Structure 1
Amino acid sequence: MGTPHSASETGKETDASADPAAAPNADARPEDTQATDKADHTAEPSSAELSPDEVIADLQAQIAALKDQALRAAAEAENVRRRAAREKADASKYGISNLARDLLSVPDNLARAIDSVSEEAQRAGGETLQTLMEGVKLTQKELLQVLERHGIQPIHPEGEKFDPNFHQAMFEAPGTGQPDGTVVQVVQTGYLIGERLLRPAMVGVAKGGTATQSENGQTESGQAPGSQLDTSA
């Protein structure tokens, strides 16, 4: 008859055999554990494993990239500075464009007043009328000088070839003896502010004359009446 075993001992043996994880791994060797640790350490190369030449080359590349970024930033800052200076200059030069355009009716009316009274009428009107007309002329002259101090100058296109960038054709005048497309009369004076057009000159253009020639010798005709490029300030 066999030796009897207690229930507790039998349970312990059963648990140990049922749970393989609880049992020690008899196949595991110390060499395998060391190899795994070594593989973890050598998975990614560190900077300490680079040669001195490679380290120097890497640092030089970083320095070159930083220099390039610094140069780009400096160039961008210079562009911003120049753009701000240009905008400031334009604001100073052209900021009064709207006011100046509204004021142009004043010299227009002064010119009409002067043209409406002939020299003969002034003499017939006596000293009072002559003094009045002299005052009107002085006022017109002073106003034009003030406008000129602010970069506003009149356009005098009579006798020139019609330019739609600066002139606005109001009518065509045949039989003037002038080349076709020549400005023969100024109806209303035009003005520039700086290098920009403030108001185009309203003009009459010759029609039916000989065609004008450009500098390269090609024949050109005048622009169509009323054609105008909007370049106003």
Structure 2
Amino acid sequence: MPDPTSPRTPETETADEAPTNAAAATDEQRADGTVEPEVTEPAAPADRTAELEAAVADLRDRFLRSHAEMENLRRRTEREVQDARKYALTAFARDLLSVADNLRRTLESSGSAGEAAKPLVEGVELTERELLKTLDKHGVAKLDPKGQPFDPNFHQAMFEAPDPSVPNGTVVQVVQDGYVIGDRLLRPAMVGVARGGPKPGSAEAAPAEPKAGVDRTA
């Protein structure tokens, strides 16, 4: 046991304070053992939900745009295929029109033929009817503009003829037949147009018939 009368040195002070520090440390450990540690979780960004919603909206917009483009492409492709099928014979049909013209000229010039040529004329008429029927089967129809108002979309005026008995601008003569394929003009009809009659639409003018006048009776 240290002598109380002996002088205190740093070594003796440290030895005296050690039990006190050990007791304080023990009390702190007991206190720490009664407190539950706080569990902290990483907080999600406040705008994460808005960011995800914006990404979903952007993807939805892209999907709708792509779907609309594909639908337009499908419709355009279908229309092009239909047009290709419908108008594939345009060049071939145009070449056949000269055959129809020659048959018509033969019939028009056979008016003075005698009875001996009658079977030949009937054969030419039958051939012309079969040709026109075949053309009509493939969508080619002959225009019948005589008596119709002149339509620059289907007719080509070759001359004007004074005729006050019909409205002004009425087709009074067909010089060369015109043809259409589907709803497209294959060849315009060369026509003569009346001049000097009442204006179309006036009270004196006769009621106008449908334009172009497609002949499908052949």
Q: Shared topology, TM-score over 0.5?
A: yes
Is the counterpart of residue 129 in structure 1 residue 117 in structure 2?
yes
Q: How many pairs are equivalent?
A: 163
Residue 66 of structure 2 aligns with an amino acid whose one-letter code is A
- Show the counterpart of 2:45: 50
User: How far off is 1:49 after superposition?
Assistant: 4.4
Q: With the length of structure 1 as denominator, give the TM-score of the two structures.
A: 0.66
1:30-109 alignment, distance < 5 Å:
49-51=44-46, 54-109=47-102
Q: Greater relative contact order (Cα 8 A, min sep 6): structure 1 or 2?
A: 2
CA contact (8 A) 2:168 2:195 kept: yes
Which aligned segments of 4 or more residues in structure 1 are displaced greater than 3 angstroms?
A: none
- Show the counterpart of 1:195: 183
Please say which structure displays the higher CA radius of gyration.
2
1:88-167 alignment, distance < 5 Å:
88-118=81-111, 121-122=112-113, 125-126=114-115, 128-167=116-155
Instruction: Please list every run of 5 or more consecutive structure 1 residues that lacks an aligned counterpart in the other structure.
Output: 1-46, 220-233
Distance in 1 (alpha carbons) for counterparts of 2:94 and 2:105: 18
Distance in 1 (alpha carbons) for counterparts of 2:125 and 2:167: 34
Q: With the length of structure 2 as denominator, give the TM-score of the two structures.
A: 0.70
Relative to structure 1, the CA distance from residue 79 to residue 154 in structure 2 (aligned partners, 3 Å threshold; closer, same or farther) is same
Relative to structure 1, the CA distance from residue 56 to residue 132 in structure 2 (aligned partners, 3 Å threshold; closer, same or farther) is same
Distance in 1 (alpha carbons) for counterparts of 2:44 and 2:56: 21
Query: What SS is found at the alignment partner of 2:185?
Result: strand
- Show the counterpart of 1:182: 170
Query: What SS is found at the alignment partner of 1:104?
Result: helix
User: How far off is 1:211 after superposition?
Assistant: 1.1
Instruction: Please list every run of 5 or more consecutive structure 2 residues that lacks an aligned counterpart in the other structure.
Output: 1-41, 206-218
- Greater helix proportion: 1
% same residue: 55
Distance in 2 (alpha carbons) for counterparts of 1:56 and 1:112: 83
